[in-house]
Amino acid sequence: MSADRTGPDSSVPLVPPDDRMETRGHQHDSWQVVVPIVAAASLIAWFRMPSMVRGWLYAEDGKQFAADWAGADAAGGISVLWTPYAGYEHAIPRLASWFVTAVLPVSWWGIAINVISCLTVGAVAGLIFVFSRDVVTDLACRVVIGMITVLVPIAATEALGNIANLHWFLLYLTPWLLLVTPRTSWGASGIALVAFFSTTTEPQCAIFLPLVLWRVYGLWRPTDPESRRLMIPVLCGWFLGVAAQVVATFAAPRGVSGEFPPLASVVQGYVLNAGMTLGTTYRPLLGSVFVRFGWWPGFLGVAAILALAVLGFVKGRTPERIALVALLYGSVVSWTASFVLSRNPDFYYSELPLEEFASPLYTRWGTAASMMLAATIPVAVAVLIREYRRRQWIWYAVLGALVIALAANLFLDTGPGYGSWAAEVERARAVCATANGSSAGTVELTTPPGPGWVINLPCPVLTGG
């Protein structure tokens, strides 16, 4: 914001008045900037959608979310909106699947879910760009922070194009919505809704409790009272969402079995899924690195990012320091929580022989962790651009290198096709129309990622009868 602007709109109550940043970030928040970011991010999400997701009700999108509204065993009723699954609430997937199953023909469900998912991810990118205004001063860095949402390579392995994995993008959004300060009452209400729906979709948003407590502490600081008042709805929205997740966890706890993974596997998994995949997810290339050099390139790459973040922390002001700490903390904790709770021995990397890494195994658990780790780069670069004005070209080169590395992965193959949901619906309709079929019967439809992921639909739903 402009240093000479007065009034509540120019305050950043995250820090005391004498430590506030002289930022012009809010001057770039016009629709002329935000709309292109949302549009570009939505299109990139669509372009990068895995083939096994495109045109399908992928995984829980069909077996759980659509089935709970329209399946043969659907309970129906508005209570489905807050019915827990796997130990937590899924507010946005529940709402999206309700709309699709209630309004659209059954053969459109797959594409409709793809569209909703990509538009939501695009909106998240735009919101992150806007919310970064109180932390980052450089426009290019803010654009990169927003576009990281769709550019991190690991997002294209499974997360894009389906509502079952929208929660990873909302987790990346969370630190930014907690770092921004609303300018108006309407803005406060909007951000509060975003906070509520983010937390009621992704329980891991609760890991940012330390950041929330910092903002709560700021409410009692001798700063502009209007800005303090506007922050209260946002914090309330966050607390209400987290409280709903706590209730859901106790009401329908998630089953966790097996032994804790080895600590070495947790660390190596983070280096691979959050760090090394920022370079590429092309398995032959990354596999050749493992075969020739082992884990050293991955650890050195993550160390280089951490070193840049430390430099940004040392040279930065309070909002930038808080953002860097929050992003690194969120990256490590989100990966660790997902990895430890899932306890899948297939990903116990420290127990696998090096030959297995000729074709490395990635997992969606690293999606948000990779985004937050990558975001520390533009945040630190923005600090260094301001502090070393005569050498700005060096830091813009670092930012450019990140963008090039991420953009290079846009051209990777998204995998083999799996037919389509519309074709599966036609097959099921044919079953309903056979002599052995019954208009009152049900048909089992199989969806990716493979056997066991099925949805049973009544023939009247399939035929529109």
Query: pLDDT tens for residues 125-160?
Result: 999 999 999 999 999 999 999 999 999 999 999 999
Note whether residue 253 is domain-resident.
yes
Residue 224 is predicted with a pLDDT of 67
Pairing of strands 442-446, 454-458: antiparallel
Contacts of residue 169, defined as CB under 8 A and 6 or more positions apart, other chains included, come to 120, 121, 124, 149, 159, 367, 368, 371
- Between vectors from CA 366 to CA 365 and to CA 368, what angle results, nearest 5°? 100
Sign of CA dihedral 368, 374, 376, 379: negative
Tokens of 455: 């949805």
Cβ distance 7 to 225 under 8 Å? no
- pLDDT digit string (tens) for 270-310? 999 999 999 999 999 999 999 899 999 999 999 999 999 99
Each residue's pLDDT tens digit, 199-239: 999 999 999 999 999 999 888 775 667 777 899 999 999 99
Instruction: Specify whether the CB–CB gap between 179 and 135 falls below 8 A.
Output: yes
Q: Answer positive or negative: Cα dihedral of 332, 247, 158, 160.
A: negative
Q: Is the pLDDT of residue 91 over 60?
A: yes
Question: Does residue 421 have a pLDDT over 90?
Answer: yes
* Tens of pLDDT, residues 159-174: 999 999 999 999 999 9
Nearest CA-CA partner of 362 in 203, 156, 164, 165:
156
- Counting beta carbons within 10 angstroms of the beta carbon of residue 102, is it exposed (0 to 12), middle (13 to 18) or buried (19 or more)? exposed
Instruction: Provide the percentage of residues in the chain whose pLDDT is more than 70.
Output: 91
pLDDT at 340 over 80: yes
In angstroms, the CA 58 to CA 80 distance is: 19
**Is residue 177 a part of any domain in this protein?**
yes
pLDDT per position as a tens digit, 96-119: 999 999 999 999 999 999 999 999
* Residue 465: per-residue pLDDT: 59
Residues 373, 402 contacting (CB under 8 angstroms):
no
* Of 58, 165, 176, 75, nearest in space to 121 by CA: 165
Q: Does residue 12 form part of some domain?
A: no
Instruction: Classify residue 88 by its DSSP letter.
Output: B
Question: What's the DSSP call for residue 454?
Answer: E
| pLDDT score recorded for residue 436 | 58
Residue 450: band (very low, low, confident or very high) from pLDDT cuts 50, 70, 90:
confident
Between the alpha carbon of residue 87 and those of residues 23, 174, 203, the distances in Å are 42, 20, 9
- Range 325-330 average pLDDT: 98
Is the residue at 16 inside a domain?
no
Position 337: which residue type?
A
Give me 123's structure tokens.
């909106």
In whole angstroms, give the CA distance from residue 445 to residue 109.
Answer: 13
* 426 belongs to a structural domain: no
Would you call the peptide bond into 449 cis, given omega within 30 degrees of 0 as the criterion?
A: yes
**At how many degrees (to 10) do helices 392-408 and 367-387 cross?**
160
pLDDT in tens, 4-55: 333 333 334 444 333 444 444 444 567 789 999 999 999 999 999 999 999 9
Instruction: Judge whether 267 lies within some domain.
Output: yes
* CA-wise closest residue to 150 among 179, 117, 109: 117
What pLDDT does 16 receive?
38
pLDDT of residue 21: 44
Tell me the residue range of the domain where 173 lies: 28-411
Q: Contact at 8 Å (CB) between 418 and 51?
A: yes
Q: Are 113 and 61 in contact (CB under 8 A)?
A: yes
* Number of domains comprising the chain: 1
375 Cβ partners below 8 Å, 6+ apart? 145, 148, 172, 327
Alpha-carbon distance values, 339 to 273, 363, 463 (Å):
11, 9, 42
pLDDT tens across 370-404, in order?
A: 999 999 999 999 999 999 988 899 999 999 999 99
Report helix, strand or coil for 452: coil
The region of weakest confidence among 16-20, 110-114, 335-339, 446-450 is 16-20
Residue 378, pLDDT score: 98
Burial class (CB in 10 A: 0-12, 13-18, 19+), 178: buried
Task: Give the residues across from 458 on adjacent strands.
Answer: 442
pLDDT above 90 for 445 = yes
Query: Greatest CA separation found in the chain?
Result: 80
Mean pLDDT across 341-361: 91
Answer whether residue 18 is part of any domain: no
Q: What is the mean pLDDT of the chain?
A: 89
- What is the pLDDT at residue 2? 37
Cα 211 to Cα 101: distance, rounded to the nearest angstrom: 38
| Greatest mean pLDDT among 84-88, 151-155, 250-254, 343-347 | 151-155
- List, in order, residues 6 or more apart from 198 with CB less than 8 Å away: 170, 171, 173, 174, 177, 205, 241
Count of all residues that appear for the chain in the document? 465
46 CB contacts (<8 Å, ≥6 apart)? 114, 115, 118, 161
Q: How many Å is the Cα radius of gyration of the chain?
A: 23
428 is a domain residue? no
Q: Give 251-275 pLDDT, tens digit per residue.
A: 888 877 778 899 999 999 999 999 9
- CB-based contacts of 187, cutoff 8 Å, min separation 6: 230
Mapped onto helix, strand or coil, the DSSP state of residue 280 is coil
